[in-house]
């Protein structure tokens, strides 16, 4: 469904031999150019991102690897309009989001980006179907429609008969599936997942990743997954590593 466009190299020259930029795409959903981010603690400045270039196309599943503390969550948060970079540009869906007001960024997060976190962040006191309904309620979707869609999404992630279950009584793999269904609620084009398989066992980790990859390939979504999990690398179309503040394409 997508055109895989222009496999020319990104135009910016590399600064280090280890840094191999990925391809450039005319229809990129995400386009980062020279993104920089530093954290200041008192007088100490930690430069986490030192010029990150990256292009992500539709219908593909990307992995982001790198040692603990190297800035993976920071980069994901910048792409997801949770954090703003100090420099460089971040284009989502053809629009530079660093220039948008906070309200517009929040609207993008609600409507076009789905987040999946390591620890699920499911809401207590709500059953599975109610958790999936929440993002739709925020957009004013009618209760009946939201309920129907939540049930369809739970079926999609293999939890057809679990709608009424309390997540506290579900396994971690099942909770992560509920979180994935919730991330898909508003049919986002871009799905960002931060270590989604970290709490999962040897069987459910690859199952979850196969599900995310199939979503990308079959429904045209762009999926970006931060992971340390060597068991699931086969599910990636492209793999990048973040090290010393820059990205290198591994595969």
Residues at the site binding ligand ATP, with contacts judged by CB under 6 A: 39, 41, 46, 48, 66, 68-74
16 binds, among ligand ATP, Mg ion, none (CB under 5 to 8 A by kind): none
For residue 209, give both structure tokens: 């990743």
Query: If residue 115 lies in a helix (H) or strand (E), which one and from where to where?
Result: strand 113-116
Do 204 and 28 meet the contact criterion of CB atoms below 8 Å apart? Answer: no
Window contacting Mg ion (CB under 5 A); options: 36-44, 69-77, 158-166, 178-186: 69-77
Choose between 146 and 183: whose C-beta lies nearer to Mg ion.
183
123 binds, among ligand ATP, Mg ion, none (CB under 5 to 8 A by kind): none
Choose between 58 and 66: whose C-beta lies nearer to Mg ion.
66
Instruction: Print burial letters for 4-30: b (CB count within 10 Å at least 16), e (below 16).
Output: eeeeeebeeeeeeeebebbbbbeebbb
In whole angstroms, the minimum distance from the beta carbon of 73 to ligand ATP comes to 3
Choose between 73 and 227: whose C-beta lies nearer to Mg ion.
73
Indicate whether 73 belongs to the interface with Mg ion (CB under 5 A): yes
Choose between 39 and 99: whose C-beta lies nearer to ligand ATP.
39
Q: In three state form, how does the secondary structure of 146-179 look?
A: HHHHHHHHHHHCCCHHHCCCCHHHCCHHHHHHHH
Query: If residue 6 lies in a helix (H) or strand (E), which one and from where to where?
Result: none
In whole angstroms, the minimum distance from the beta carbon of 63 to ligand ATP comes to 13
128 binds, among Mg ion, ligand ATP, none (CB under 5 to 8 A by kind): none
What is d(CA 90, CA 61) in angstroms, rounded to the nearest whole number? 19
Q: Which residues make up the interface to Mg ion (CB under 5 A)? A: 73
């Amino acid at each position: 469904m997508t055109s895989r466009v222009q496999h020319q190299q990104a135009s910016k020259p590399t600064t280090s031999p280890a840094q191999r930029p990925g391809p450039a795409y005319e229809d990129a959903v995400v386009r980062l150019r020279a993104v920089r981010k530093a954290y200041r603690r008192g007088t100490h400045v930690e430069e986490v991102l030192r010029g990150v270039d990256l292009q992500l196309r539709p219908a593909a599943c990307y992995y982001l690897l790198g040692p603990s503390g190297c800035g993976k969550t920071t980069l994901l948060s910048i792409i997801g309009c949770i954090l703003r970079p100090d420099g460089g540009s971040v284009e989502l869906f053809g629009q530079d989001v660093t220039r948008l007001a906070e309200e517009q960024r929040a609207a993008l997060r609600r409507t076009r980006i789905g987040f999946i976190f390591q620890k699920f962040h499911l809401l207590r006191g709500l059953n599975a179907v109610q958790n999936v309904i929440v993002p739709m309620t925020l957009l004013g979707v009618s209760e009946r429609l939201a309920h129907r869609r939540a049930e369809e999404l739970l079926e999609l992630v293999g939890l057809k008969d679990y709608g009424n279950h309390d997540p506290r009584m579900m396994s971690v793999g099942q909770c992560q599936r509920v979180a994935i269904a919730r991330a898909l609620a508003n049919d986002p084009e871009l799905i960002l997942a931060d270590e989604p398989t970290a709490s999962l066992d040897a069987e459910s980790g690859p199952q979850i990743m196969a599900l995310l990859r199939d979503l990308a390939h079959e429904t045209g979504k762009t999926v970006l997954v931060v992971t340390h999990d060597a068991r699931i690398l086969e599910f990636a179309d492209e793999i990048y590593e973040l090290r010393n503040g820059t990205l290198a394409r591994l595969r």
